[in-house]
Amino acid sequence: MKAVLKTGLGIGVEVLDVPYPKLTSTSVIMKTIACGICGADLEVYQGRLSKLAKLPMIMGHEVSGEIVEAGDGVTDFTAGDRVVIQPFTGMCGKCYYCKTGQAWSCPSRRMIGGMAEYVSVPNENLYLIPENMKPEEAPLCEPFAVALHALHAASFNILETAVVLGPGPVGLMTLMALRAAGAGLVVVTGTGKDVSPRLELATKIGADATVNIEEANAVNVVKTLTKGLGVDVVFDTTGSQKAGPQGMQMLKTKGRMIVIGHYPEDMALADPSYKGYSITGNVSYDWDTWERLMPYLERRHVDFEQFITHRLPLDEADKGFQLATSRKSVKVVLLP
């Protein structure tokens, strides 16, 4: 079967033939319907490998599919079910983090690679796709889970004010979550490359203001909109050397900054103590996020399709990564 792999250092991915996945008593074999390209995938594509990246590796973790086989011990799902996956697996259950309820920090965890024609998925990582959602949209449940967990990490309250740094898929999902949470003001910032289609989509979704930082001073805009106070929470989805320090200048006294993007290891931020800022890292989510998210999506239709700007076959994966890197897209989805 075909799969998109990262096999070595440097820029790029390869579409190669790999063995058909193995079925266990507690897993299913899923025929992939769609797999999104996300920011973490782009880092691996560009050769910036995370601790979870062990080469060679099958790319992609925003995945939906249809079950074609189920192990003998799988009782909740059957062949023909259309599902979306929570992609983290392999937690050991024995380390300090697993034993203290922080399994998402387990050193043994890994991500299920979804850019393949077929994928083996543990039973506990599966969720049925809601009837009101198209299977091609379902991979966007994963970045929406990231956004929801970020709001939880911020202890965000109704009518609080916020800035979202970066109008990529996770930034736009964060905007959508803030609107659902009753935010009083949301400002989204981006660069000139982001104006179309990303900042335009931010306005459509409900941003009170968008700022092209190449044309306006974003800190001044935020201060003007908040009568000099700054906002309660800044969500930094960029991982940028420049965005983090700028975001801190947008906070009011005792404001909170939630870092969703991956900062470089040598990233330096100003001392937050003199204004009582708090800075919290929030890269993914936990089981509780998914257990709350999926019933919510069953009750309410969330328009994920508006984020999908490009659909490409698996063989054109490299083109998809180039599109995502150029920011001429919002979400690129591969269709095996």
In a domain, 121, yes or no: yes
Q: Are residues 256 and 163 in the same domain?
A: yes
Q: Are residues 11 and 108 in the same domain?
A: yes
Q: How far apart are alpha carbons 4 and 7 in whole angstroms?
A: 10
Longest dimension (CA), the chain: 62
In a domain, 241, yes or no: yes
Q: Are residues 127 and 7 in the same domain?
A: yes
Tell me the three state secondary structure of residue 256: strand
Q: Are residues 218 and 133 in the same domain?
A: no
Q: Are residues 20 and 130 in the same domain?
A: yes
In a domain, 289, yes or no: no
Q: What is the reported pTM?
A: 0.94
Given this model, what pLDDT does residue 115 score? 98
**Residues β-bridged to residue 312:** 334
Q: Are residues 67 and 167 in the same domain?
A: no
Q: Are residues 23 and 103 in the same domain?
A: yes
Q: Are residues 153 and 101 in the same domain?
A: no
Tell me the three state secondary structure of residue 281: strand
Q: Are residues 120 and 73 in the same domain?
A: yes
In a domain, 236, yes or no: yes
Q: Are residues 276 and 148 in the same domain?
A: yes
Given this model, what pLDDT does residue 272 score? 65
**Strand boundaries in 22-129, DSSP class E:** 27-36, 57-58, 62-70, 82-85, 88-89, 110-111, 118-122, 126-128
Contacts with 301 (C-beta within 8 Å, 6 or more apart), sequence order = 132, 133
Q: How many distinct structural domains can be found in the chain?
A: 2
Given this model, what pLDDT does residue 277 score? 82
**Residues β-bridged to residue 44:** none
Q: Are residues 122 and 164 in the same domain?
A: no
Q: Are residues 201 and 171 in the same domain?
A: yes
Integer Rg of the chain from CA: 20
Instruction: Give the domain range for residue 151.
Output: 144-281
CATH of the domain at 267: 3.40.50.720
In a domain, 299, yes or no: no
* Sequential pLDDT tens for the chain (336 residues): 999 999 988 899 999 999 999 999 999 999 999 999 999 899 899 988 766 678 899 999 999 999 999 999 999 999 999 999 999 999 999 999 999 988 888 999 999 999 999 999 999 999 999 999 999 999 999 999 999 999 999 999 999 999 999 999 999 999 999 999 999 999 999 998 888 899 999 999 999 999 999 999 999 999 999 999 999 999 999 988 788 889 999 999 999 999 998 766 666 666 666 677 888 888 788 889 999 999 999 998 899 999 999 999 999 999 999 999 988 899 999 999
How confident is the model over 154-177, as pLDDT tens digits?
Answer: 999 999 999 999 999 999 999 999
Q: Please name the residue that has the structure tokens 């507690």.
A: 26
CATH of the domain at 111: 3.90.180.10
In a domain, 295, yes or no: no
